[in-house]
Chains A and B, each alone.
Chain A
Amino acid sequence: MGEKEVRIGVYVCHCGTNIAGVVSPQELASYAATLPNVVVAKDYRFMCSDPGQEMIKQDIKEHNLNRIVVAACSPRLHEPTFRRVCAEAGLNQFLYEQANIREHDTWVHMRQPKEALEKAKDLIRIAVAKAARLEPLEVQKVKVTPVCLIVGGGIAGISAALDVANAGFKVHLLEKSPTIGGRMAQLDKTFPTMDCSACILTPKMVDVARHPNIEIHSYSEIKEVEGYVGNFKVKIVEHPRYVLADKCTGCGKCAEVCPVFVPNEFELGMGSRKAIYVPFPQAVPNVYTIDREKCIECKLCVKVCEPEAIDFNQQEREIELEVGTVIIATGYDVYTPFDAPQYGYGILPNVITSLELERLLSSFGPTGGKVIVPTTHEKPKRIAFIQCVGSRDQRLFPYCSRVCCTYSVKHARQIKEKYPDTEIFIFYMDMRTFGKGYDEFYEIAGREYGVNFVRGRVAEVRRVPGTDKLMVRAEDTLLGQLMELEVDMVVLASAVIPREETEQIQHLFRLSRSADGFLLEAHPKLRPVDTLTDGVFVAGMAQGPKDIPDAVAQGKGAAAAAIALMGMGEVEIEPYFSIVNEELCSGCKVCQDICPYGAIGMTVDGKSNINSVLCKGCGACAAACPSGAIDTQHFKFNQVMAQIEAAMKR
């Protein structure tokens, strides 16, 4: 390649008015034409469109171009597009460079068109400088292990698991708690159809349990992740249940005799369970678990267990899985609103959260479906719902939790159905009941059920002295009036927040999180289930607040993405690996420990050697190599130096 004359074509995209509205693409193209090695420079309305792509292909042939630069959006968006264009025109796809004059220029300097023009010229000059030094590379192909790990057994994970398994791939479904089912298992009914949550969820759970391609690893957590797309090695730890899963029949006799009562997490502490327990009757797997922290080791359970399933000596077990793809569906937590003391949660017993109400409404919940005032155990006569507790609050969680408005409407309707006399007031900022059939659902609540909607933030909830009743003070912003309302009970629509383990998951899989703390997708619109780590996908609330249909859709979307990858059997990885020039390598070993992938070894002659498949191309070794013997393809020393020189030229 070095011998051949470098002939660069530069294409400036208008991107409609996104670029052309700030800087003149024509001027940029004529500037580009003056740069060294540039043979052709053109502009076009949408380079990524068919005619745009065709223009490049034509020029490659006509002008014998051997390097292409497109000045347009971020390469993180359209680099693959234009690389394909090059490849289709018979040019090695790595002889392509993109100047990011949209995200890094016209969009961020919209009010300084003159400076933006100068910057765009600079960015094009930098790209041309790199392009002139680009070298043709061959993509590497690696095999994809046809196994998918799904982290999280909630509805998103379950939906994904079934789709992947049905496509014929092995699935490992990992769940931290003793049962799959997730948050949905805690819900009573689902909006807007008012299906019984258990009725639609539990068959799916059973399907999962029975599926020959799915292996459930409940009560398990991830310890270590190594490898890369198609070839992950995941070490998981299965916690001891002290009950042998293959022997336990789930008969429950042990729990009957267990003398220890423990507040039940599944019921949010409102009910109790035993020290040996299943979280809820339909648990999958239906295997009991001993809570050793609470167990008094009376061993009554051992005596009654006919299959002799109880084993107090059971140990933690490490399992290593080799998987090709991963779907993260770790779900969410509900904010415990202690940081909002004005609502009295945790101080006033009759202030509860929506999820607690959900359990009270459930027919198999702690009250058998009766909604009662916690202190009096009586039917509430008047209930206030407070929306956006923590959500849309700059001090706490600036985002919208998306489900609260609709579920509060659902709660109101459920209560009205049970107790038509109970008065309900919903205090809201604005009602966001989007979604198919949701707004109709909300309309009916007001019109037919007589639920009172009050627009305004509640300032304070306090106890009415000498009673168990609560005084809610708020401003009705529609009427412009202060109002004080005496109620029996307050329900807080508490924010949906990322799970505590999200950070750990993020680090294990090298993911990113968005400002809200949820996992970040690769692109907010076009790649909503991909993450920045190839082969790792995200689904459900782990990615951000969403309702059940969205969580299921995303689970199925992630499944489709994983299936597509595994179906190919192999994956192309960018050839950005580092290479050792053995002539120059002195075997100083500086590079050896730097590589996070153990890709660098030593030859028998004591020279460094890089395994190009293990190497991920970070370039840390190249920067470190004190003899200049290592270079990183596509980010070579002379390429970056040329970019820096071009950046400073004027």
Chain B
Amino acid sequence: MGGNGEFEPRIVGILCNWCTYAGADMAGTSRMQYPPNVRFIRVMCSSRVDPQFILKAFELGADGVFIGGCHHGDCHYVTGNYRAEERIKLVRKLIEQLGIEPERLRLEWISASEGNVLVEVMNDFVKKLKELGPSPLSKDKE
């Protein structure tokens, strides 16, 4: 919970090294501001994201999980982001069946230069998660 008692969602982000991680660096270099709710973890490609990572984050109480990769056609590893997308959309359906709102799992393509897009996405994601409230698996006690 935030200092003023408002619900502050906890987000785990897994970002590809080449696009979204670099995009997040770009947001920093440009001193763009976004809500401090997300913790980024770097992998080389969005296709490294094992669905077990996503489920683990939710199990541990993450209110949102964010996966960032390169735009279609831009993947540093040619096709990784397509694989990631097929998998993650299945996982999204899975978590829906498991009672976790699918909007809590967000997949975005953000290029190395799109610091502004990263910021927009984070603003929007935090806003949406605040609307949803804590995850049913949230460990934070009110």
Contacts and interface: CB of A to CB of B under 8 A. Distances in A.
A513 interface: yes
B22 A532 contact: yes
Given A644-B12, A645-B56, A648-B60, A107 B18 contact: no
Contacts of A114: 3
A620 B61 contact: no
Contacts of B112: 512, 514, 520, 532
Interface string B12-24: 1010011101101
A512 B19 CA distance: 8
A532 B47 contact: no
A576 B16 CA distance: 14
Nearest to B119: A108
B42 A75 contact: yes
B48 A641 contact: no
The majority secondary structure among interface residues of chain B is loop
A13 to B, nearest CB: 14
Contacts of B2: 115
B36 interface: yes
Given A110-B33, A111-B33, A635-B48, A644 B40 contact: no
Contacts of A104: 24-25, 28, 40
Interface in A596-640: 596-597, 616-620, 622-624, 632, 635, 637, 640
Interface string A53-78: 00000000000000000000011110
Interface string A488-516: 00000000000000010011001011110
Contacts of B75: 510
B72 to A, nearest CB: 10
B74 interface: yes
A256 interface: no
Contacts of A623: 47-51, 83, 87
Contact of A648 (B12, B22, B27, B40): B12
B7 to A, nearest CB: 14
Given A515-B113, A644-B57, A619 B48 contact: yes
Interface string A441-475: 00000000000000000000000000000000000
Contacts of A515: 113-114, 116
Given A594-B83, A640-B53, A647-B41, A510 B76 contact: yes
Given A110-B33, A620-B47, A623-B47, A641 B25 contact: no
Given A104-B28, A110-B31, A126-B39, A619 B47 contact: yes
Contact of A108 (B27, B41, B43, B79): B27
B29 interface: yes
A643 interface: yes
Interface string B118-140: 01000000000000000000010
A176 interface: no
Nearest to B55: A644
A510 B3 contact: no
A108 B28 contact: yes
Contacts of B98: none
B44 A576 contact: yes
Contacts of A105: 28, 36
A109 B33 contact: yes
Nearest to B15: A104
A562 B19 CA distance: 24
Contacts of A643: 41
Contact of B78 (A112, A123, A524, A596): A596
A596 B80 CA distance: 8
A576 B102 CA distance: 32
A107 B31 contact: yes
Given A103-B25, A108-B31, A635-B48, A619 B74 contact: no
A126 B27 contact: no
B52 to A, nearest CB: 7
A74 B39 contact: no
Interface string A118-160: 1100110010000000000000000000000000000000000
A648 B57 CA distance: 7
A100 B41 contact: no
10 contacts: A105-B28, A109-B34, A110-B31, A115-B36, A512-B18, A532-B76, A618-B80, A619-B48, A640-B53, A644-B41
Given A123-B39, A620-B79, 12 more contacts: A503-B73, A510-B76, A512-B18, A512-B111, A512-B113, A514-B112, A616-B77, A619-B45, A620-B45, A640-B50, A644-B57, A648-B60
Interface of B: 2-3, 10, 12, 14, 17-19, 21-22, 24-25, 27-29, 31-34, 36, 39-45, 47-53, 56-57, 60-62, 70, 73-80, 83, 87, 111-114, 116, 119, 139
Top-4 shortest CB links A-B = A103-B28, A619-B48, A620-B47, A648-B60
